[in-house]
Amino acid sequence: MALLGKKQPNENLELPEETQIPTVEGSLVDAIAPSALQVTSNYVQIGKKYSRTFFVITYPRFLTANWLSPIINLDKVFNASMFIHPADTGIILKKLRKKLTQIESQIATEEEQGKIRNPILETARDDIENLRDKLIQGTEKFFKYALYITIFEDSIEKLNEAEEQILSLFEAKMVYIRPALFQQEAGINSTLPLGEDKLLVTNSMNTAPLSTTFPFVSSNLSSNKGILYGINRHNNSLIIFDRFSMENGNMVIFGKAGGGKSYAVKVEILRSLMFGADIIVIDPENEYQHLAETVDGSYLKISLTSKHHINPFDISPPGPDETTEEIIRSKIMDLVGLLKVALGKLTPEENSILDKALNEVYASKDITPQSDLKNITPPLLEDLQTILENMEVE
């Protein structure tokens, strides 16, 4: 063996193939999934958030409309889910008949024993009979109803405080809830927008009490467009609204003297200008001159001695559902009515002459059904006088 000999290349040496590292493509679930999830008996930790799910176990004998409003408007981050499972009316009627027989038998037994009347049993009997009548008549239906709420907080301490708050709100309505112990994972899945009831903790309800759980009673007045009107004092949410998106965009403001009515209007004007709205204010008390000058608007003072005057012959561009011909014809009819008021009663011949003269007045300013009314110079009253003086009366 040559220790100091020259190393000879090994032509038969095989190098290992390059190790292939498998790659896994990310999915949408990976992108939206939390960094960690821990499920315990009474809460779920999702990343840095803690959640706890509750379900309703019992309701009072009577439910009033809007009873769910304080919970829906609660200033907390929470999910609420409702599940309504229709029940077979025939099966429910059989169960009610059986229950009614048991109650009647118990009432008869207590009467034979000489006991005083039991108002609880009598009320239950009356309720069952009323419900049976409504189910048979078809005016009511029967359902299995489930209500789940999952609240979210930043710590266990805040989660416990939120639990006490929501418990007190429900108990004030004589509605009792319980946390979903050892079922928190199923609870949070039931309150996700998946439409899956994993808890299956339901209560029997007919149509009338079920209608009181209608959830869309929030006083939240925010929309996806419009201007900021203020802050909702019930839940501190922003009031954002576009009143011109409604079928009727009119608004009236009531308030005592000094209550801020004019200020509210001026704030709405300034915020509407930011969205490119055209604002016209009729200002008999000269309250908006400074505002108009501040935003580089025009302030026109209308009076006997003013240099500004209203031109009744001015014509506006057509709207989305109007044509230029309709606008011109409507303006001529308005002018005829105005001149009738100014001149008194007109004969049919005078009315015909006036109508013809008004058409010629607009035609003299190149205002025709084919014109673009955005770039025109409207005629004046003196133009009508000139046309009338030069007309040939047949």
Which of 4-13, 109-118, 134-143, 213-222 is predicted with the least confidence, judged by mean pLDDT? 4-13
Cβ pair 360, 330 in contact under 8 A? no
pLDDT for res 185: 93
User: What does the alpha-carbon distance between residue 360 and residue 152 come to, in Å, rounded to a whole number?
Assistant: 73
> What's the burial of 372, exposed, middle or buried (CB within 10 Å: 0-12/13-18/19+)?
exposed
Task: Using the predicted structure, report yes or no on whether residue 217 has a pLDDT greater than 80.
Answer: no
pLDDT for res 216: 60
Mean pLDDT of 377-381: 88
User: What does the alpha-carbon distance between residue 132 and residue 65 come to, in Å, rounded to a whole number?
Assistant: 23
pLDDT for res 79: 93
Mean pLDDT of 129-145: 86
pLDDT for res 167: 94
What is the percent of the chain with per-residue pLDDT over 90, rounded to a whole number? Answer: 29
pLDDT for res 16: 56
Residue 341: which region, alpha, beta or left (left: phi > 0; alpha: psi -120 to 50)?
A: alpha
**pTM score above 0.85:** no
Mean pLDDT of 242-263: 89
Please write down the HEC assignment for all residues of 76-134. CEEEEEEEEEECCHHHHHHHHHHHHHHHHHHHHHHHHCCCCCCHHHHHHHHHHHHHHHH
pLDDT for res 40: 93
27-to-47, 59, 121 alpha-carbon distances in Å: 19, 43, 59
- Tens of pLDDT, residues 43-62: 999 988 999 999 999 999 88
pLDDT for res 163: 94
pLDDT for res 218: 53
Cβ pair 80, 152 in contact under 8 A? no
Task: Using the predicted structure, report yes or no on whether residue 1 has a pLDDT greater than 50.
Answer: no
Question: Which is higher by pLDDT, 1 or 89?
Answer: 89
What average pLDDT is seen over the chain?
85
Angle (deg, nearest 10), helices 324-343 and 348-364: 130
Question: Which is higher by pLDDT, 317 or 177?
Answer: 177
> Of 261, 266, 215, 247, whose CA–CA distance to 81 is shortest?
215
> Of 68, 365, 326, whose CA–CA distance to 218 is shortest?
68
State the pLDDT confidence band at 393, using cuts at 50, 70 and 90: low
- Tens of pLDDT, residues 336-356: 888 888 888 888 888 888 888
Task: Using the predicted structure, report yes or no on whether residue 99 has a pLDDT greater than 70.
Answer: yes
User: What does the alpha-carbon distance between residue 226 and residue 243 come to, in Å, rounded to a whole number?
Assistant: 8
Task: Using the predicted structure, report yes or no on whether residue 21 has a pLDDT greater than 80.
Answer: no
